Structure 1
Amino acid sequence: MSFKKLQVVILLIGGVFCSANLAAQQIDSAFADINYVRRQNAWISSKNAAGLKHFKLPKISEAKLVLDKSNGQFRNFHQSSDSYEYGLDASSIYRLNKKIVFEGAIAYSNFKGKNMAGSAFIDPYENPFDIVERHDNNRGTKTKETYTLHGAISAQLNSKLTIGGRINYQAANFAKAKDLRHINKLLDMELSVGGIYQLNDLVEIGLNYNYDRRIESIYFKTYGNKGEPLSSIISFGSFYGPLETFGEYGYTYDSAIRPLTNFSHGFSFQLNLKLNEKISLFNEFTYGKPKGFFGEKGTASILYTEHAAEKYAYAGVLSISRNKNEHQIALKANYATLFNIENVYRREVMPGGGARIVYFGRRDVLDKQQLEANLNYTFFKNIENNNPSWIFNIDGNYIRRQQTTSVYPFYRDQTINSYQAKVNVKRNVVKADQMYSLGLGLGYGSGSGLAKYDGLYASPSADQLDLAPTSMDSYLYQEFEYFTKPRVSADIDLQYTKKLKENISPYVKLNYSFTKAFDTQFLGSSFGVAGLSVGCNF
């Protein structure tokens, strides 16, 4: 996104925020907690934009500048041990009238991390395979810029039916500044349209269609001394796959930009039960069918891999309100399968110097299943003007990943179980036109599993032995330790908020989190993040 376009978007959203602010001067929301407001009704954070109709305030908005500094060696294989990130973020939900509610957000972030290698992609967990540098001594500085736009609308057609739509758009640039260098560009767009129908005072149902298209293009190149060959593992899973030298015709050849394309169609169904005036139970079921490919289809271009997946998700929230207190029990569960195949091809040079790609087979390279579950209990105590005096939170998270990576006749099995539990307490103290906030958290995590089990489908021939897959064991065990080694964590945040007038309240916030791991061999034992936020609620 160009700077001029960004300026126009900021001005447009700023105008919307200002208009909403003028429309809401009669409500004192200077100390309203925007996170609580979003959780006040589960419909607001659902995948169905029509759920915004349940937003009860005239408006709530926030703009902030965030600075984070991270240091430590207990980090995943693709992360930095020394990084900083800053960003700007503005978001707002506002009610235009009794029937229409809008939501909008814009964000920019700039990340710079030292000592980075590992994956050549922005987020390896978003992709069906990975490209991993073979030599860990090629670590260098990586930078990333991310632009995010979000918009949603809910329109009530009559007393029973409400419709809505949402669009999320993200663009990013990512680059490494040391050989083997890569330059990435990301475009990710999510669309959703749906509706809600109120059967009666007790039951609401909703249905929406979801579409996501994500394209990350990647380009490899080198500068300076090329004396030592630079190679990468095409990791089809668990850091296991063929070894490719830069300069050879293949995944990392420097003659073209290669896109990794993923698109998904799906739907979500919501059922909300208002058991009485104090108790409600919200349920959301989601199904998606992503698929995609790496490379380009054509006679002179290569379609390297093709993948297909299925995703199932559930989100449920039980809310119990009593006097000025509210209890929420939330359960989220996601289950996904992923199947990836590699096309076997040959590049043939034609008379006259042209070339064509001839495909003569396909082979299965990854069969993966992943389960994620999260159980959360939150108690909001003494809520005044949408601002709880106390927030108690208990959170538990579990991840199980099973995958088989195949480069026939060789295969590798892996199983990872990872779980974390955390307790947080936050206290907000309002004195006249000032608010003081203190948050404390403690956590514990661990895991289990099998880092690798290598086997054979059949006895390999001599030719197959020459083409045996390569393993990057250092990254394999770094990732395994990151998910499974015991660790404790602690965090603290301090915030001061000053009310300037009825609906405007700037704030400053300091936060720090620290993680200490035990029994690590391939990673360090600690990691810390310090942050500063300066913002304004209006």
Structure 2
Amino acid sequence: MQRRLLSIVLAGTLFSIGINAQEPLRDSLLHRDFSFISNADPWLLSRNAAALSRFKTQNVSMAELYVQYGKGGFVNYDASPRVLQAGAEVASFYRLTDKIVMSGSMKYDNFSGHDMSGSAFAQTSRLPFDIVEDSLTHAGTKHRDTYQLVGALSWDFYKGLSLGAKFDFTAANIAKYKDLRHKTKLMDMTVSAGVYVPLHAVSIGLNYAYRRNTQSLAFSTYATSAQDYVSYINYGPWIGTLEQFGNTGFTDNSREQPLLSEYHGIGIQAGWDILPSLSWFNDMDYSYRRGYYGRKSPYTIVYANHHSHLLNYHSRLSLKLSRQVHNLDFSFSSENLVNDMTAYRMNRNTQGASYYEYLNPVKSANKAWNEVHIGYTGYYGIVRELPLWTVQTGLNFSQRKQTGYLYPYLRRQDLRTTEPYVSLSRNVIMRKGVFSLQAGYAYKTGSGDAFEDETMAKPSDKQKGFPVMEAFMYREYKYLTAPQYALNMGVKYAFVLPSTRMKTYIALDFSHRHACDDNVFLVGKNHTVGRLTVGCTF
């Protein structure tokens, strides 16, 4: 009897939802989805801001506040097993006149991570080298404030021919509150300018981009004890040198030292409307990166120089039907980096002042990163600018290949990961709002050895190898390559706030990642994140 009653209740609920989903809304605001609108045309998200002139729909903006909490030991060596984050974001696409379109966003994120050690840098991916704590006992709280401002403008000056410019600026301040302490200042700025040329069924674009990334480090101690603090200068796959904290070297306590990278890049885009409902978009860009760590002057030291070549490509085949959109995406990115450690000696001039003379540099690392993405996104049952169903599936592949040199030793590492994924989203249109459900699953596997050691020449009797940091090496290795799965789910309810023209929403999302492998170097096998978001679209 109870089962029959439960079946009747469920059937009635589903039937009522189906009826509500077919009833017209009082306000068309509920039929707009910011994510769907911004992803509808790949030109809008390209680095070439001139293509913003293609924006034809009604102006749209969003604003949201969020709070997020993550807990669990399955994290990388530079991450925290317990994180609290909160922030805000606003974004907009806005047609100012018939000829001018603007877009922009502002973000703020407040991060507090407990039991953190690892890297002293703010951005730890694709570093020429890393500065890592050499002890697990000095983990402490890290706090980070991140600010981002993005602005873009497109001007249609003659029959669709458009010029555009884009500015992307990120600043962050990070501090560790336990010895060995560090303060890290991040400045990441990208400026680009481009042109967009529509030629009937074919459109082309060309842009230039300049990026400047600076991470400035300042190390200090609060305690007055005679304890020594040691940092591990990681050249590559955990081969490097140890440095005692003092008034010289990478962790010099007498000055703030920057890791600077400058990028010069050029991009080309091409779109082809094969049929009225079928289009093909391509975007390729090449960049050259060059930089150094230290202070450039005759009286200060530059400790390392690096350079790299970057290539990125994105392609989308899109089929747009009356109430369906099908996108097939392919993207590829590659970077090949070389880092050299400087060799120098200190001299004194006739006035007695010291200066530095640089000798031939010594190569410390070759690093290569390759990433491939293949994905399908399908939007079904589109009501104006709101899909009732969204299906996503695809495959992510990555390779990280590194060789670190410390004569006469070298260490290689070649890691590859594969991650298929699938997700499903459902928007149910009701009388006074939209109720949304989302769920996803991903499974990741990796291959490759943690390290392969070789020698370039026979070591002498006095050469006893190089220092290692096994705990962080194996923690990173397992985090990247251990068999693992990720689950995510979310619920959201959107409604029109009375007496406003705003689609207000409340969303609750959860994600969980689990390692299917045991390892003593992992703090745990699970990591769970919960996020509450309150926002609006207008």
TM range, smaller chain: over 0.9
Counterpart secondary structure, 1:477: helix
Cα deviation 1:370-391 (Å, max 9, x = unaligned): 1101111011001112100000
Aligned to 1:343: 342
CA separation of 1:462 and 1:300: change in aligned 2, threshold 3 A: farther
Deviation at 1:460, TM superposition (A): 2.5
Paired position in structure 1 for 2:312: 313
Q: Which residue of 1 aligns with 2:516?
A: 518
Shift of 1:407: 1.1
Deviation at 1:35, TM superposition (A): 1.1
The structure with the largest alpha-carbon Rg is 2
Deviates more, 1:177-186 or 1:222-231: 222-231
Residues 426-464 of structure 1 deviation map (CA, whole Å, 9 limit, x = unaligned): 00011133110010111111110121011110112355x
Contact 2:30 2:494 in 1 (8 A): no
Secondary structure of the corresponding residue to residue 275 of structure 1: strand
- Residues 31 and 383 of structure 2 are in contact (CA less than 8 Å); yes or no, is this contact kept in structure 1? no
Q: State the Cα distance separating 1:395 from its structure 2 match.
A: 2.6
Cα distance between partner residues in 1 of 2:119 and 2:349: 35
Q: Who is 1:80 aligned against?
A: 80
- In 1: Cα distance, 2:517 partner to 2:250 partner: 37
- Tell me how far apart the structure 2 counterparts of residues 226 and 125 of structure 1 sit (CA, whole Å): 34
For residues 460 and 337 of structure 1, what CA distance do their matches in structure 2 show?
A: 29
Q: Report the more deviating stretch, 363-372 or 223-232.
A: 223-232
What TM-score does the superposition give when structure 2 sets the normalisation length? 0.92
Residue 7 of structure 1: aligned partner? none
Letter matched to residue 93 of structure 1: F
The whole-number CA distance in structure 2 between the counterparts of 1:493 and 1:320 is 28
- Identity of aligned pairs, percent? 33
Aligned to 2:402: 403
| Alignment partners' CA distance in 1, 2:82 and 2:196 | 47
- Secondary structure in structure 2 of the residue aligned to 1:207: strand
CA apart distance, 1:261 = 0.6
Per-residue deviation, 1:98: 2.0
Question: Does residue 96 in structure 1 map to residue 96 in structure 2?
Answer: yes
C-alpha distance 320-168 of structure 1, shift in aligned 2 (>3 A) = same
* Paired residue secondary structure (2:125): helix
Cα deviation digits, residues 202-260 of structure 1 (max 9, x gap): 10111000110011100000011433311011111112101101115211120000011
Q: 1:477 aligns with which of 474, 477, 484?
A: 474
Maintained 8 Å contact 2:111/2:145? yes
Post-superposition Cα deviations, 1:255-274, rounded to whole Å, max 9, x if no partner, equal 00001110100111001000
Tell me which amino acid in the other structure corresponds to 1:415: D
Task: Tell me the residue number matched to 1:428.
Answer: 427
Q: Is the contact between residue 231 and residue 243 of structure 1 (CA under 8 Å) also seen in structure 2?
A: yes
Aligned to 1:108: 108
Q: Distance in 1 between matches of 2:128 and 2:30?
A: 45
Gaps (5+ residues) in structure 1?
1-26
> Do the aligned partners of 1:57 and 1:94 also contact (CA within 8 Å) in 2?
no
> Number of residues paired by the alignment?
509
Q: CA deviation at 1:347?
A: 3.6
Q: What displacement does 1:300 show?
A: 1.1
- Give the conservation status (yes or no) of the 8 Å contact 1:28–1:502: no
Residues 433, 502 of structure 1: CA spacing in aligned structure 2 closer, same or farther, 3 A cutoff? farther
Aligned counterparts of 2:123 and 2:443: Cα–Cα separation in 1: 25
Structure 1 counterpart of 2:269:
270
Contact 2:411–2:454, Cα closer than 8 Å, also in 1: yes
In the alignment, what sits opposite 1:122?
A: 122
Assess if the C-alpha contact under 8 Å between 1:29 and 1:385 holds in 2.
no
The offset of 1:416, in angstroms, is 0.6
- AA partner of residue 491 (structure 2): L
**In the alignment, residue 276 of structure 2 is paired with which amino acid?**
E
1: CA distance, partners of 2:384 / 2:502 = 14
1:20-169 matches, within 5 Å, as 28-169=28-169
| Partner-residue secondary structure (3-state), 1:138 | coil
Contact 1:29–1:386 (CA<8 Å) still a contact in 2? no
Q: Distance in 1 between matches of 2:372 and 2:171?
A: 29
Q: The residue matched to 1:460 in structure 2 has which SS?
A: coil
Give the equivalent residue in structure 2 for 1:23: none
Question: What is the identity, as a one-letter code, of the residue corresponding to 2:325?
Answer: E
User: 1:461 is paired with a residue of what secondary structure?
Assistant: coil
2:415 corresponds to 1:416: yes
